[in-house]
Amino acid sequence: MGGVVAERCAAGWLRIVLHLGCLAPLVLLLRDLATVNPIQAITQHSGRTALIILMLSLACTPLRLIFGWRWAASLRRALGLYSFFYACLHLLVFLLDYGFAWGMIAQTITEKRYILAGLAGFGLLLPLAISSTKGWQRRLGRRWRLLHRLVYPAALLAVLHFLWLSKVARDPLIYGAIVLLLLALRLPPLRIHLGRRKANE
């Protein structure tokens, strides 16, 4: 009984840390308002924050497989929603920068491939955020898991978006390598190997 209470208490504190950690970047975004080019600063920081939190959500399954940290799976939904929140903010600031001039925005999308990649990634994340509730999980059944595999191409598109807009490729390539590693750990042969190794410990 005491172990169950301790586990629930630890889980509660873990969620508090998660929420505080994911909300902390908002303070930095507020600071960006005082910079010379606030639109550019907020756009860059919100996009990078969305990608980092998305990578953290992708890390939950490998953490469970490698270290047996079952609690990591319980954080995945919240991390995914926070990533989508910052992606929404990223998109909103982009639209504000163009004054919601849809004709100019459409022309820019056709001319700049990094924007097209970013919008495609956002489009894949949108149904995942909408269907993240338990109600949708019940409605979709087995299809829910298939739908949420869209997060994999969404993450790759986010990295591609970052790579194509960056003047220096180092950071996007580092992020891309991390994403590829996190996706590779989900491949059936590696999952089976990790599961067997954990069972033998």
For the cut 90, the answer to whether the pLDDT of residue 23 exceeds it is yes
Give the pLDDT confidence score for residue 5 in this predicted structure. 52
Give the pLDDT confidence score for residue 188 in this predicted structure. 73
Q: What is the mean pLDDT of the chain?
A: 89
Give the C-alpha separation, 154 to 121, whole Å: 4
pLDDT band at 195, cuts 50/70/90? low
Give the pLDDT confidence score for residue 69 in this predicted structure. 82
pLDDT band at 200, cuts 50/70/90? low
- Counted domains in the chain: 1
User: Residue 42 has which token pair?
Assistant: 């907020």
Q: What is the mean pLDDT of residues 111-127?
A: 97
pTM of structure: 0.90
Q: What is the pLDDT of residues 55-103, one digit of tens each?
A: 999 999 888 888 888 888 889 999 999 999 999 999 999 999 999 999 9
Q: What is the pLDDT of residues 156-177, one digit of tens each?
A: 999 999 999 999 999 999 999 9
Helices 113-130 and 76-97: crossing angle, nearest 10°?
A: 140
Task: Quickly count: other Cβ atoms within 10 Å of residue 152's Cβ.
Answer: 15
Identify the domain containing residue 97 by its residue range. 2-200
Give the C-alpha separation, 15 to 57, whole Å: 14
pLDDT band at 194, cuts 50/70/90? low
For the cut 80, the answer to whether the pLDDT of residue 4 exceeds it is no
